[in-house]
Structure 1
Amino acid sequence: MESLFLKPAPPLDPEWLRYEEEAGLNKPKPTVSMLDRQPAYAAECRNLTARMMAPGANNHYLSQGIVKTEFTVPSFSSTWSVPQQQRDGRADAAFPIPVILYELEQAAPAPHSQEKVVVVYIHGGGLCVGEADSEELSCRRILKDSGIPGLNRVYSVGYRLMPTYRASTSLSDCMDVFHYLFQLIARTAEGNAVKLVLVGSSSGGELAALVSQMAPQGSVDGVVLRGPVTSDAFSGMEYVPERLRPLHTSAGEPSFWNCLLGPMKRDEPRDGLERMPLEAPEEVLKGMPRTWIQVCTNDGLYSDGVCYAKALEDAGVQVKVDVVRGWPHTFWLKAPHLPRALEADRAMLEGLAWVAE
């Protein structure tokens, strides 16, 4: 694991630099409020998904053979979740949390002895932007391309966002949905074993990691994190465990920053959360399931992923790390058509298969 720790970042890959120039990503961005940015970002994601799956596009096949169902889960339903008094003072009424189920049409039934796999997907966006369908391509690719027997359902969570709500509400929404799905699967498994795997990207990785730590041991069977947020090193190294501070270099080193992610600025440390995933006590980390983590070297969050892998490894957890060298933070979401993005997705699918074994 020690070989993964970097002091400066390597140069950005020329292929990314060409795309960055062509797409104008390195040009100054207009200043807009986050509340205005939220619907604009959601629309951008939907438009990109539509273009990628249009007839004649390479990913057109992802539009076929999948049933998409939208429903809601009531908040405050989980006994595992964030205390109600921490949920913005809104404990008097449940909120309908949006969830999307992506399901294979006419999925071949797994053999009776075959364990089924269900994925719960948590999108990124700094806890400020993104909706349940913002990373739809990833959800569909997991269904169509994973090759995992019995994996025919992916649930994507549309948790509430800052600044209207606190980060604790984002987390409690994810906990409530996970609790609901865990109970639903237990009722409908018909005696078959079902593995439940959490997948999260960026801040969705933060939420997925926290859910895996807060849920009862054994309820999560695997975790896949892509470019995850696991600390608040940007607010100060005091939010990184002392033994890991010498290894956490990316938050304070400008060579890791670029047009996709520069230094993160929070209104309050940890966005008000009690702790971040990297700060979990050792007894909590020891109970974690197999975890696969994908990191990009040109990313201020690079050390977040690597340090979390180190903490898990030290706690005796089976963990693997995939390093995408020369590329920025979750670039596969911004430019899914690039060959390197598809390679990163394929690596993710291999990681998913490993945690689901």
Structure 2
Amino acid sequence: MDHLELRKKLEQWEPELVKTLPPLPTGLVEEYITIPSSSSPKKLKIIRPSHPPATAPLILLFHGGGFRAGTIEQLTRPGREFAEAFGAVVVSASYLFIPEHPFPAPVEDAYDTLLWVARNAGEAFGVDVRREKGGRGRFVVGGVSAGASLAAVLAALAIERGDLSKEGVEITGSFLAIPRLVEKEILPSEYASLWTSREEYPNGGGEGFSAALTVKFLELTRSLLKPDVHSPLYSPINAPEEVLKQLPRTYIQVGGQDCLRDDGVVYERFLKDRGVEVRLDSHPNLGHGAYNVFAQKGDEDEQRLRDTTMEGMKWLLGL
């Protein structure tokens, strides 16, 4: 399936899957807004309490799709549950796709969204994440798969560039579900023994919604993305040490049969060795699957995925 076919399918499937979810919980509002960006106007999906307090947490999420597909509907399921359980304002965002927009366009586009959301949270959503203005400063940035990779980069990039700190804002948590963060060229030698999943599961694993992700697909993605894998815009592993030590607490999820499993395993150890608060949950029976609109099987593995997703976000929010 080429990128256009994948894009078309997800544009069809994801909104339809939202319709099969339980009704929007009472007291929540879903709405769409359009914001300016350096590329073209961008649509965001907002899930929030009808009257959030100014101290409500703010959660910005980026969907998955191999950097070339996916929609802002993909994370509606966890978004609704985060809003209901934690009183959070949840923003679901997209980014520029490859191959039309190769590296570093996707991450720079996501960074533009991050800045807009942080700077306009008060006026647009009624919440204030600026610590100096009395806000509690709970601002989590996360995502799934490619979206998680972007979220990890954004956490380091925001520190290095200093744009958020000028606004009195900081990212206080990173939520990273099944991210891609490591390549052979940048794998620190001390973690080489941990990075084996691409050899163990070249054709992926798991069943159902955690559909197999293959090493061949990863290689194709890299060829379309055309990244500088040594750049901090590709992976926070490349960020300066003084930046890494300032990263926010980080929650990571991996699938035990995912060829990307050990990207998360290595990153957890990498952060821990730099004094960053980090937690990792591994789901042994899953492949490349996360808690999103595709997770509707209702079995024990999916229930555990849902439970760890909620507990991970609760920990990031300090609740």
TM-score (norm 1): 0.74
- C-alpha distance in 2, partners of 1:40/1:256? 22
Question: How far is 1:64 from its partner?
Answer: 4.6
Residues in 1 aligned to 2:302 and 2:176: alpha-carbon distance in whole angstroms: 16
Q: 1:101 offset after TM fit, Å?
A: 1.1
Q: Which of residues 278, 283, 288 is equivalent to 1:324?
A: 283
Structure 1 residue 172 corresponds to structure 2 residue 78:
no
1:343 aligns with 2:304: yes
Query: Residue 265 in 1 paired to residue 208 in 2?
Result: no
Question: In the TM superposition, what are the counterparts of 1:29-178 in structure 2 within 5 Å?
Answer: 32-51=1-20, 53=21, 60-62=22-24, 64-76=26-38, 94-107=39-52, 109=53, 115-144=55-84, 147-148=85-86, 151-178=87-114
How far apart, CA to CA, are the structure 1 residues paired with 2:290 and 2:93?
21
Aligned equivalents of 2:120, 2:157: Cα separation in 1: 19
Residue 114 of structure 2 aligns to a residue whose secondary structure is: helix
CA displacement 1:139-168 (0-9 Å, x = unmatched): 112212xx33xx331001121211221242
Distance in 2, matches of 1:124 and 1:269, equals: 16
- Following TM superposition, by how much is the alpha carbon of 1:300 offset from its aligned partner in structure 2, in angstroms? 0.5
**What is the TM-score of this pair, normalised by structure 2?**
0.83
1:160–1:169 contact (8 Å) kept in structure 2: yes
Looking at structure 2, the residues matched to 210 and 98 of structure 1 have their Cα atoms a distance apart, in angstroms, of 22
Identity %: 25
Give the structure 2 partner of residue 79 of structure 1: none
Indicate if the aligned counterparts of 1:100 and 1:156 stay in contact, CA closer than 8 A: yes
Q: Please report how far the alpha carbon of residue 71 of structure 1 lies from its aligned counterpart in structure 2 after TM superposition.
A: 1.7
In structure 1, list runs of 5 or more residues that go unmatched: 1-31, 54-59, 77-93
Q: Per-residue deviation at 1:318?
A: 0.6
**Structure with max Cα Rg:** 1
Q: C-alpha separation between the residues in 1 aligned to 2:113 and 2:197?
A: 33
Q: Which segments of 5 or more consecutive residues in structure 2 lack a partner in the other structure?
A: 160-164, 206-210
- The CA deviation at 1:286 is 0.6
Partner of 2:162: none
What letter matches 1:245 in structure 2? Answer: A
Residue 126 of structure 1: how far off its partner (Å): 0.9
Q: Is the 8 A contact 1:98 1:159 kept in 2?
A: no
| Structure 1 position 196, deviation (Å) | 0.7
Structure 1 position 288, deviation (Å): 0.4
Residue in structure 2 matched with residue 84 of structure 1 by the alignment: none
Q: RMSD between aligned alpha carbons?
A: 2.3
Instruction: Please say if residues 73 and 99 of structure 1, whose CA atoms lie closer than 8 Å, have aligned partners that are also in contact.
Output: yes
When structure 1 is superposed on structure 2, of 129-138 and 267-276 the one drifting more is 267-276
